[in-house]
Copies of this chain bind each other. A is one copy, B any other.
Amino acid sequence: MAAAHDTPSAALDSSSGAELLPLRHTSATMKATGTSRPSCCANAPSASSTSLGDPARFGVLTVSDRASAGVYDDLSGPAILGFFGEAVASPWEAVYRVVADEQPLIEAALKDMVDREGCCLVVTTGGTGPAPRDVTPEATEAVCSRMMPGYGEQMRAISLRYVPTAVLSRQTAGIRGTALIINLPGKPKSIRETFDEVFKSIPYCLQLLGGPYVETVPAVVAAFRPPNERRTAKPLEQQQAQ
C-alpha cells in the first residue's frame, strides 16, 4: 500500500515490524531504541538548502487492538508517514506509535506526543466507527480545549464520494495547546483519499496556532495560505530575529 505511493521504503519497513510496541514511543526511522528524541526521518532534498528552523514534529498514532497486539502489521501509520514523505517539502520528523482501542491509552499517547514530544500535529488512524471499541473521537475530544468541526465534516463528505458507509465515521479534530490533533480514517486507501485534500489547509492552521512554517510539494498537495501570510525561504538567523 505505502509502496504504491512511492514512500521512502527504508523508513517505513523498519517501523512496521517489531518496534510496533503498544504504548512504546518509537520513531519511524529508529529501530525501537527507546530514545525520546528521534532524529528527522524525512527531509525533502530541496529543504536542507533553505533552512526554516527546527524540523516540524508530526505525531502518528495508530489505534488498533489487532495491530497493537501484533495480530497483523499496521499499514495505516506507515501510509501516513509515506504521505508526509511525499507531500512535505520543509524539514520534518515523526513520532509514531500504536496503541489498543482503549480510551485512557489513546488519551495518554496524545498528551505525551503534544506535551512532551512537542508535536505540532498529531494524526490518528483507526477507532472512529460506531462499534463499542471505537473510542478515538472521545479520546481526542477529552484532550482538546477546542474542537475544529470542519475537518470531520470535510472528511466524511470526501469519503461519501467513495462509499455510503463513510457517514458512520465519527472523525473529529481539535486543538490541544498549540497542536492540531486530527482523526483520519482507518484504511490506507481512505487515508490517502481524504488526506490529499485535507492537508491543503493544515500548514496554515499550524501557522495560526503559532507552530512551524510547513511547506508542501505543490505537485502532491497545493497547500493554501492567504497571500499576506506567505513567507519566502530565508536564512535561519533572519527567521529567528522575526
Contact A201 B164 (CB under 8 A): yes
- Chain B residues with CB under 8 A of A170: 146-150
With an 8 A cutoff between CB atoms, is A56 at the interface?
Answer: no
With an 8 A cutoff between CB atoms, is A122 at the interface?
Answer: no
With an 8 A cutoff between CB atoms, is A205 at the interface?
Answer: yes
Contact B131 A168 (CB under 8 A): no
Number of identical monomers bound together in the oligomeric complex = 3
Residue A150 contacts which of B138, B166, B222 (CB distance < 8 angstroms)?
B166
- Chain B's closest residue to A224 (CB) is B164
Residue A156 contacts which of B153, B160, B166, B197 (CB distance < 8 angstroms)?
B153
With an 8 A cutoff between CB atoms, is A165 at the interface?
Answer: yes
- Chain B residues with CB under 8 A of A153: 149, 153, 156-157, 167
- Chain B residues with CB under 8 A of A198: 167
Contact A168 B209 (CB under 8 A): no
- Chain B residues with CB under 8 A of A58: none
Which of A147, A148, A168, A169 has the most B CB atoms < 10 Å from its CB?
A168
With an 8 A cutoff between CB atoms, is A151 at the interface?
Answer: yes
Which of A170, A197, A222 has the most B CB atoms < 10 Å from its CB?
A170
A197 to B166, CA, bound (A): 12
Task: Given contacts A130-B180, A150-B168, A168-B205, list 6 more A-B pairs with CB under 8 A.
Answer: A130-B208, A132-B209, A148-B167, A148-B170, A150-B166, A165-B225
